[in-house]
Amino acid sequence: MVDGVASRFLLGIDTGGTYTDAVLFSPDEGVKARAKALTTRHDLSEGIRGAVENVLAETGTDPSAIRLASLSTTLATNALVEGQGGRVCLVMIGFGPEDLERDGLRQALGTDPVVFLPGGHNVHGHETPLDTSALAAQLDDLAGAVTAFAVAGYFAVRNPDHELRVRGMIRETTHLPVTCSHELSSKLGGPRRALTTLLNARLVSMIDRLIGSSEDFLKAHGIEAPLMVVRGDGALISAAEARLRPIETILSGPAASLVGARFLTGLDDAVVSDIGGTTTDVAILDEGRPRLDENGAVVGGYRTMVQAVAMRTYGLGGDSEVHVNTRGLEGALVLGPRRVLPLSLIGKLHGPTVREMLERQIKATHAGRYDGRFAVRSGLPDRFASGLSAADQALYERVPSTPVALNDLLTSSMQKASLDRLVGRGLVHISAITASDAMHLLGRQGQWDKDAARLGLELACRMRDGSGKPIASSAVELAHKIEARMTRQSSEVILAAALGEDGVESVDPAKSVSIDRALNRTPGVVRFALALDRPLIGLGASAHVYYPAIASMLGAESVIPADAGVANAIGAVAGEISQTVLVTVTAPEEGVYIISGGGPTERMTGEDKTFALARTRARETAMRLAIGNGAEDPVVRMVEQIDAPEIEGSRKLVEARFSATASGRPRIT
């Protein structure tokens, strides 16, 4: 950590799907105070204010003593897992419609518009003429139908000129945010780079609101410290860079939790599992460092080009929706992947009204199709509802800012499809029973409304399985079943992540008979057993509720640090700033070299001279970026890869790659 005196403090903030955490950290004394507040998605500053003001009040700290603020978040991860985000126009330069079929690009695009333009470059940076007429004809209409643009050019990493020209044209006409693919990755692979760019553009407004809320709060409270944001690989970047490249904040929260787990436990080797309201994130610590996914982070089923911790994210959390299979002979429960608002939470937020609606449903002569389920506006400004169909807009206008029973809101199956689309856009929240409600009824959690949880579980008990029997005889029995399902499903996702890290992707723990017998301790002539080879570190506000049973099922030592609930916020102030720049050299013809990356594309002669310039450009650009992001005295590490085989006795340069990484602790004001 940094050198400092007792009057210097670092402020760590983590904004998750359910809670916003804050820690006040002293370089000499560790955690001085910690606090939580509900994440307020309609105005993120409220949740930040609630958490930070509590840690300041608890210690009586003068805000001017805070010298650095750092933010981690799961909002980007959650949005991609839940299929949420703004509507985006994808502009493809030099690509054709067939390229949408690669790397999941068409699935990710969904119903968002796409425009194809002639243009692009080849591997050496030579251009095909750009024609922007197709885009110009649509820009006025698109300006009112999308929240951002994503621009991906063929071989733009070799020459970004066409992307830059299209970006300027879009900004001049629409004044909307534009993401270019060359800004996000220097790797080849056009469709996957386009996918990454699309997802980045989809997240721009969300992360911009988060950072803006954080900066407004800091300024209003006299905190003049610079604001950093945790990147997906655990490194820190400036708030300005995070605004431009929000995709780099996917897995920000989980990456911060790994840094925090290492700091809190001192363990070098562990499986780290962090349960939040929306997701469970699993990663491996090896020799004190998180494993990185060199192929790019996978989030929401999409393989991106973002380097991040080798974190596996599953749609399973305390607020995951409880699904009941009423077709089988026994009513099977499944949790997730969608997050809903727990009934206990909306009961706390909206008071007796929710309990009264639940009681009326219980007393009704006939069960309603959507008993125990409610809708409420998320609180996003109306501009985020741009591009809705007439049917979706009509339903959106009927959803109030207080919970409304779905039985009263929906009158047709088509309206249910509209509601699902509104939820996908983040405009409306659904409330229903969750594992958090079960834990409230069982007395394992107590921060929200236990009575609302009980009423919701009682309503759910009226559902019957395929044999006609109620799925549970009482709310308490159903709560225990949900608890058991959370233990089993969590064990399965941790096993899936661990097996994946071992290269055993073909085994699905949820379907394997052998793993089922091992987890159930099924007796027999042949007894199956399994165990992790290292401790299981449980993180998250509810870690103490779930992980002892999960670790026992997995035959692992359970380690739940005292500050498990704020590990992300601690990790946010424990990281380093790190910037990597890749410069490539190719040879289109004998004696001629093309240098790309870290600056303008250049044509040169002389291999030694070109390589020397590539090294210098990579090193100096990495240093400049690290210092620009707030690093103090960064150290540079160089890696070179030169692919130059001997062909018929003559050396032929295919490609040379010069990678420079500059790292250092953030500058403390």
User: Angle between the 543-553 and 475-501 helix axes, to the nearest 10 degrees?
Assistant: 60
Task: Specify whether the CB–CB gap between 52 and 66 falls below 8 A.
Answer: no
Is pTM beyond 0.95 here? no
The CA distance from 163 to 581, in Å, is 19
The CA distance from 55 to 662, in Å, is 33
| Averaged pLDDT, 187-209 | 86
The CA distance from 470 to 463, in Å, is 6
Write out pLDDT tens, residues 29-63. Answer: 778 888 888 887 667 778 888 888 888 888 888 88
Which range (146-150, 290-294, 325-329, 420-424) has the least confidence? 325-329
> Per-residue pLDDT for 151 more than 90?
yes
Write out pLDDT tens, residues 81-130. Answer: 766 778 899 999 999 999 999 888 898 888 899 999 999 988 877 889 99
Task: Specify whether the CB–CB gap between 434 and 318 falls below 8 A.
Answer: yes
The pair of three-digit structure tokens given for residue 526, joined into one six-digit string? 């042949």
Q: Is the dihedral of CA 252, 540, 349, 369 positive or negative?
A: positive
| Torsion from C-alpha of 83, 87, 89, 92, nearest 10 degrees | -10
Supply the pLDDT for residue 201: 87
Partners of 25 in beta bridges: 10, 31
Task: Specify whether the CB–CB gap between 163 and 151 falls below 8 A.
Answer: yes
Supply the pLDDT for residue 449: 95
> Per-residue pLDDT for 331 more than 70?
no
Percent of the chain with pLDDT over 90: 44
Output the CA–CA distances (angstroms, integers) from residue 611 to 125, 407, 606, in the order listed.
Answer: 18, 69, 9
> Per-residue pLDDT for 5 more than 70?
no
Supply the pLDDT for residue 522: 93
> Per-residue pLDDT for 298 more than 90?
no
- 290-298, Cβ contacts within 8 angstroms, sequence gap of 24 or more: 290/234, 290/255, 290/258, 290/259, 291/501, 292/233, 296/192, 296/196, 297/232, 297/250, 297/251
Write out pLDDT tens, residues 220-279. Answer: 888 888 898 988 888 888 888 888 888 888 878 878 888 889 888 999 999 999 998 888
Q: Which of 15, 49, 4, 57 lies closest to 32 in space, CA to CA? A: 57
Write out pLDDT tens, residues 572-603. Answer: 888 788 888 899 999 888 888 989 888 888 88
> Per-residue pLDDT for 12 more than 60?
yes
Supply the pLDDT for residue 202: 86
Which range (18-22, 179-183, 277-281, 313-317) has the least confidence? 18-22
For the chain, what is the mean pLDDT? 88
Of 77 and 378, the one with more pLDDT: 378
Write out pLDDT tens, residues 422-449. Answer: 998 889 999 999 999 999 999 999 989 9
Supply the pLDDT for residue 4: 39
Supply the pLDDT for residue 548: 96
Task: Specify whether the CB–CB gap between 623 and 636 falls below 8 A.
Answer: yes
The CA distance from 423 to 427, in Å, is 6
Task: Specify whether the CB–CB gap between 38 and 429 falls below 8 A.
Answer: no
Output the CA–CA distances (angstroms, integers) from residue 134 to 100, 162, 174, in the order listed.
Answer: 18, 15, 16
| Averaged pLDDT, 388-411 | 94
Task: Specify whether the CB–CB gap between 309 and 233 falls below 8 A.
Answer: yes
Supply the pLDDT for residue 166: 95
| Averaged pLDDT, 544-558 | 95
Task: Specify whether the CB–CB gap between 22 and 51 falls below 8 A.
Answer: yes
Write out pLDDT tens, residues 617-645. Answer: 999 999 999 998 888 888 999 999 999 88
Domain annotation for the chain: domains and CATH numbers = 9-81+208-265 (3.30.420.40), 88-203 (3.40.50), 320-483 (no CATH), 576-664 (3.30.110)
The CA distance from 212 to 620, in Å, is 30
Write out pLDDT tens, residues 455-492. Answer: 999 999 988 877 778 889 999 999 999 999 999 999 99
Write out pLDDT tens, residues 363-389. Answer: 998 888 899 999 999 888 877 788 889
The pair of three-digit structure tokens given for residue 493, joined into one six-digit string? 């996702």
Residue 430: CB atoms within 10 Å: 20
Backbone torsions φ then ψ of 5, nearest 5 degrees: -110, 170
